[in-house]
Chains A and B, each alone.
Chain A
Amino acid sequence: MTWRLLSTVVVAWILIGPAVHAQTKNPYEGNPDAILAGMGGYRVRCADCHGTDGRGVRGPDITTVWSTGRSDEGLFNTLRRGVPGSEMPAFAAPRTSDRDIWEMLAYLKTLAAPAPTDPPRGNAEAGAKVFRTMCVACHKVDGRGGRLGPDLSRIGTGRSREVLMARIRRGSEDFRSGYEPVTVTTADGKPIDGVKKNEDLFSVQIMDTRERIQGYEKDKVKAVENGKKSAMPIFGPDRLSDSDLDDLLRYLQTLKGFDPTVKPQQ
């Protein structure tokens, strides 16, 4: 009798349990009120990185997530848990309710676009060579390269092709924290260019172009001036051909994360 009861409970848990713990389909899809509320939630929580249109800014294009195979449930979990090791935060309860997440996804569904059908452009292997020539002095990939700019080992997971192209060709005036350009002029008039790592009213901490990290007290230097242009140079067609750009972008899109395990030398 006890065994029969136990087996009934186990079978019931198998049948009912998963349904209770995981909603597989968005219950608010197509609901006009939920879509409107989701628009607000999306703009507050997501638009800074993914753009008002979802086509990506600092974060990737998320209009094609369904057409490339993601499910409602998987997307729900991505929002709830975030993406470890990336800038994508977790939207945890109770500050963000299940309903909030489903409403944002209901809105995002209205922006959904088909998967791109154009054949991919450029050659990643050739792009790696371009990277080693033009970018490696400032950017690190898989543990090799400079430190002045951000590590790009997983840039392919976080930026769309269009966003990367715009950044390379046109630069940006919105600097990522920790990479704002700055010039410290020492008491004897020597300018030191670098990027700002921290600052308060009385001091500034920088990495200079020789990758020296150093703090300076403002009352002991002649000037601390914020740069108006990013330390990242603009690469117009005169410095980087369209074909090399295609190769470089293709290479950058393959970068999905640094594997730090030591491997035998080739």
Chain B
Amino acid sequence: MRIFHVFAACVLFVAVAVAQQAPPALVSIQEVAQGLPADGSRWLTFGGNYANHRHSPLTQITPANVAQLKPLWTFQTGTLGNFETTSLMRDNVLYVTGPQNVAWAIDARTGRQIWRYRRELPPNLTACCGLVNRGFGVLGDKLFMSTLDAHLIALDMKTGAVAWDATLDDYKTGHAATIAPLVVKDKVITGAAGGEYGIRAFIDAYDAATGKRAWRFYTIPGPGEPGNDTWAGDSWKTGGASVWVTGAYDPEQNLVFYGIGNPGPDYHSDSRKGDNLYSNSLVALDADTGKLKWHYQFTPHDVHDWDATEVPILADLPINGQTRKVVMFANRNGFYYTLDRITGKPIVARPFVITTWAKEIGADGRPVLVPGHTPDEKGEVTCPDLTGGTNFWQPSFDPSTRTFFVNAREVCMTFIAWKPTYIAGERFTGGSGQRVKPSESPAWGALRAIDPATGGMKWEFKLLSPATSGILTTASGLLFSGDADGNLLALDSRSGKLLWRYQLGATMHGTSPTTYIIDGRQHILVPAGTTLTAWALGDAPSTRD
């Protein structure tokens, strides 16, 4: 009789389970590689797809109806610090990283927390530029997160429990990690930040299942390796060249493309004579082995802190009657580049903001320098400033109109340099900068649409002050971004005309909105300040009768 009851209970449980919707399969690499699907059911990589287009195929929200957007919910992170994340979305759940090594799974329908993860920060952490994080990577049942104490960890998607924990390097020597990992095949790719602390940085790949390191590419070549002689003396040992912004992946060539940070010390020229490879370069690496295929150095021997840690965008473009496989790159140094992604040679290189340090990019691919722009103890004025013509906030690319969009800055600065002393774990910059007085040179910004075939500007939308927001575009012809004063902006991506705005109360710093479909409605998800807010057309959430 007792056995019968147990059997009956089991039958009932199975029947209920069958009646419920089956859980989705684990996240496959094919799903990740597919990018943003037409049904809007997921967002699984930093840039939306491997090419980093940050361009959605969704068309429910259009230039005609965007002004009817309504907030659905707001999630309060309760965590101070710049909120630079790109949230991932799958099966109606958002996966979000925040400042200070905190992360959440959130119900995308209601904004209610499902789980929260927090990693204890060491008390003497020296992360350079804010205790930030730029997002998860995902594969199988695991989320991957770079941590401020220079680890890469895997979390269980369903619970937030740590599945494995790999050490990149010692945080006490100034190593940190803030980058959103990129998942390629069975590997998770991350990088070391800490360029202001005299580290020797690297790009790492780890086995997604076990956390075992598969390969490492040092961004500064060691003795005997090609390029080591571009660093005078022992300066390569403390040369920085950090990696903190997610790269792109070209499956056809099996190459990943990563922008590399500034050489250290940032401003003091005599401390590290030479070109200082591979600082301020774009490197193309074999995704299986980490071997260098080619590099292009945007700013040889940089002395203005112009990390090339902007987001590379891949596309196949008709240029001069030929289809070219290109990588597009708006650089902190003020030049926009279209490079051949097979050879790494520039096809287009043209200023997209006022630049005073170089006349042009020469036929040999090197900048033609204007004398007088090496900072010293007395200072010299250069445009752009140290934050650059743009920076790590994401550009976008609309393949239908072949337009590259960037949030640009027009700012000049007095750069000052002095000889620094290297002490492990301490800042090692050898200088800094002061903004030129507004009465002498006003600072402002603009959202700009660039033709990547020529580098010419199609349109611009001027901003009162230089902004730090990324850009999302959609197939319906919308561009979402923000300004420095907390305005969320929606423009017509074909004309630059302002269509809608909302005062968020905080700038959307270092990130852009994302978009997806929940229950048939297109959502726009906006991280700003300490909040995450979802917007959609139509009515706000209904009240229960």
- Residues in A lying within 8 Å of B, measured CB to CB: 33, 36-41, 43-45, 47-48, 94-95, 97, 99, 173-174, 199-202
Contact = CB atoms under 8 A, between A and B. Distances in A.
A94 B421 contact: no
A97 B416 contact: no
Given A40-B432, A201-B464, A202-B503, 10 more contacts: A37-B420, A40-B376, A40-B418, A43-B377, A44-B416, A97-B426, A200-B483, A200-B485, A200-B486, A200-B503
12 contacts: A40-B376, A43-B377, A44-B433, A44-B434, A47-B434, A48-B434, A95-B427, A97-B427, A173-B439, A174-B437, A174-B439, A201-B485
Contacts of A44: 416, 431-434
Given A44-B434, A202-B487, A36 B377 contact: yes
Interface string B365-381: 00000000000111100
A6 B312 CA distance: 64
Nearest to B415: A44
A199 B438 CA distance: 15
B439 A43 contact: no
A33 B501 CA distance: 53
Given A174-B437, A174-B439, A94 B427 contact: yes
Contacts of B432: 40, 44-45
Given A200-B487, A201-B483, A40 B464 contact: no
Contact of B418 (A41, A47, A95): A41
Contacts of B464: 199-201
B475 interface: no
Nearest to B432: A44
B423 to A, nearest CB: 8
A40 B503 CA distance: 40
Interface in B412-464: 414, 416-421, 423, 426-427, 431-434, 437-439, 463-464
Contacts of A201: 463-464, 483, 485, 487, 501
Contacts of A94: 126, 426-427
A200 B379 CA distance: 32
Nearest to A201: B464
A37 B418 contact: yes
Given A43-B379, A201-B464, A99 B433 contact: no
A43 B483 contact: no
A95 B126 CA distance: 9
B421 to A, nearest CB: 7
B501 A43 contact: no
Nearest to A100: B427
B377 A39 contact: yes
Nearest to B501: A202
Nearest to A199: B464
Given A43-B379, A44-B416, A94-B126, A99 B421 contact: yes
